[in-house]
Amino acid sequence: MSLPFPDIDPIALEIGPLVVRWYSLAYLAGFLLGWRYALYLCGFHEGKRPHKTDIDDFLPWAILGVILGGRIGYVLFYQPALYADNPLDALKVWEGGMAFHGGAMGVIVALLAYAWKRKIPLLRLSDIVCAVVPIGLFFGRIANFINGELFGRTTEQPWGVVFPQGGLLPRHPSQIYEAILEGAILFFILNVLARKKLEPGIVTGAFLVGYAMFRLFVEQFRQPDAHLGFIIGQASMGQLLSIPMFALGVGVIGYALMKPLQK
């Protein structure tokens, strides 16, 4: 028993040469809703930076960090041999190929540069930014499902889905698992923390730890990339990249909790 793949066209709108895909709209929704939610969170810390104008000005930095970091991460982590032979193809972002861990590193660089340039407390800024990231993750994973990509391993569970590009056997809808865990549930957890007057860095650390744990879990159901397979034993690239992310999150939380003791 399995579920049929829903007949959803990956193209949301097509007018002549203009083609708008659900994947593009997912990015747009993530940035716009994340930006508005970040402005909302600023209201819980009146008088402290970042102010709403700081968030407005950071939005282009965040977009650039996500797109450049996501693309560079995909090239380096998932397809290094391919792009080594065809380096100019790395510029063809419209053909797909983005890595979350690369996008995360891109945003970290943007946070460091922007906070230094504007003299904004880094951890306060990163707390707000990290609290909104699950919004983009949720829409992005839904778009992955619509595209029929990044599907899971074969399963006999009744909610298994027969993906058009996944063969005849039903597979875990791992994109939906990630949308629920990395998107909805992580958003709820961070939303509760972001409303409290916690030490700067707690929300940032919670995001890093939470995402890494959820990704490590879901990768057990997700089909490894065909050109990579398992990297070490039964560990996928996504799991290996999540381990340093988890360690960084623990370190940030530890640093945030130690700061009051140092005052």
Q: Tens digits of per-residue pLDDT, 50-95? A: 999 999 999 999 999 998 888 887 777 777 766 676 777 666 665 5
71 Cβ partners below 8 Å, 6+ apart? 90, 93, 97, 98, 102
Number of neighbouring beta carbons within 10 Å of residue 226: 6
Tokens (6 digits) for 248: 């960084």
Q: So what's the pLDDT on residue 73?
A: 79
All residues at 6 or more sequence positions from 259 whose CB lies less than 8 Å from its CB, including other chains: 199, 200, 201
In a domain, 212, yes or no: yes
pLDDT of the residue at 263: 47
Look-up of token digits 């298994």: 160
Does a structural domain hold residue 172?
yes
Question: Helix H segments across 78-150?
Answer: 80-85, 100-118, 122-147
Contact 204, 252 (CB under 8 A): yes
2 is a domain residue: no
Contact 150, 222 (CB under 8 A): yes
pLDDT of residue 237: 81
- As a whole number of angstroms, the distance between CA 230 and CA 237 comes to 7
User: What's the confidence (pLDDT) of residue 262?
Assistant: 47
Instruction: Look at strands 3-4 and 161-162 and give their pairing.
Output: parallel
- State how many domains the chain has: 1
69 assigned to some structural domain: yes
pLDDT at 261: 52
Q: Is residue 114 part of a domain?
A: yes
- pLDDT recorded at residue 138: 96
Q: Answer yes or no: is 37 within a domain.
A: yes
Residues 6+ apart with CB under 8 A from 155: 170, 171, 172, 221
Token pair listed for 141 = 């994973």
Domain of residue 111: give its range: 7-262
Q: How many residues does the chain have?
A: 263
171-193 tens-digit pLDDT: 999 999 999 999 999 999 999 99
**Biggest alpha carbon distance in the chain?**
63
pLDDT for position 254: 94
Query: In which residue ranges of the chain is pLDDT below 70?
Result: 1, 81-83, 85, 89-97, 226-229, 260-263
